[in-house]
Amino acid sequence: MEGLMVIGPHVVFAHIPKTGGTSVTRWLEEWGRAYNKPGEAVSPKALACLREGDWYNHQPLDSLHRQALQGREVWCGMRDPLDWYPSAWAHFGTWCGPRGESLAWGDWLRWALAPQREPHAFPGGEAARGGSLLSFLYGYIACNSIRQPLYTRLLWTHQLPRLLPGIEHLNKAGPDKGQPGRRALPEVTPYQARAIRNVDSWVQGLQGWDRW
């Protein structure tokens, strides 16, 4: 059930793929802050918080009843784009790309940074048009339809050991059978790093940013 939104009596946690969500989910479950126990299916109490009555990976916060968002602390995971893009390319394999193509790292990064013109594999993929892949995922998962953040706490991946003590011992993510073709992390060239910073400079205005 990795990748699913986590809901408990006092916390909601939704995460953008490749932002430490598996570890945060296990941390919440281990500390009893989720309705689900480790390894369990979706709790009926969590399912009741959804407006749409369906549950899938990386559920957007906008799919919850307004009462569920207002009555709980709302967390969302986020990651430094310089770390996110290499991890996303290595993890997604052929699952995410133009028409499902398996692109080399440099070609994929150019596609991911360019304004998206075609839907892709994520639910709601039409919304990707007009921004980078990371920008789309942030807007889709963390914001409402007019792109206002719905979370009350943004958890940056590189800050997790400080924010959630003990979480480093819960990172046991293994191969994902649903996403074939995972690869080794690529090397980011100085040119590519500049391109990422330029396109996704908007992250510097997000809650808790402390890099660049």
For residue 126, pLDDT beyond 70: no
Give the whole-angstrom CA distance, residue 1 versus residue 159: 24
Give the tens place of pLDDT for each residue, 81-119.
Answer: 999 999 999 987 666 777 667 789 999 899 889 886 655
Query: What letter represents residue 129's amino acid?
Result: R
Arithmetic mean of pLDDT over the chain: 84
DSSP, collapsed to helix, strand or coil, labels residue 123 as coil
Give the tens place of pLDDT for each residue, 130-176.
Answer: 689 899 889 889 999 888 999 999 999 999 999 998 888 776 555 44
pLDDT at position 178 is: 46
* Average pLDDT for 17-34: 89
| Rg from Cα positions in the chain | 17
Give the whole-angstrom CA distance, residue 166 versus residue 204: 27
DSSP, collapsed to helix, strand or coil, labels residue 13 as strand
User: Cα angle at 159 between 139 and 209, to 5 degrees?
Assistant: 50
Give the tens place of pLDDT for each residue, 33-69.
Answer: 898 877 677 788 888 888 876 676 778 899 899 999 9
User: Cα angle at 121 between 104 and 106, to 5 degrees?
Assistant: 15
pLDDT at position 19 is: 93
Give the whole-angstrom CA distance, residue 208 versus residue 155: 8
pLDDT at position 40 is: 72
Contact yes or no for 200/131 (Cβ under 8 A) = no
Query: What letter represents residue 12's amino acid?
Result: V
Which residue in 121, 111, 100 sits closest to 17, CA to CA? 121
Contact yes or no for 88/96 (Cβ under 8 A) = yes
Of 4-13, 91-100, 125-134, 173-182, least confident by mean pLDDT is 173-182
For residue 25 the two structure tokens come to 């989910």
Global pTM value: 0.87
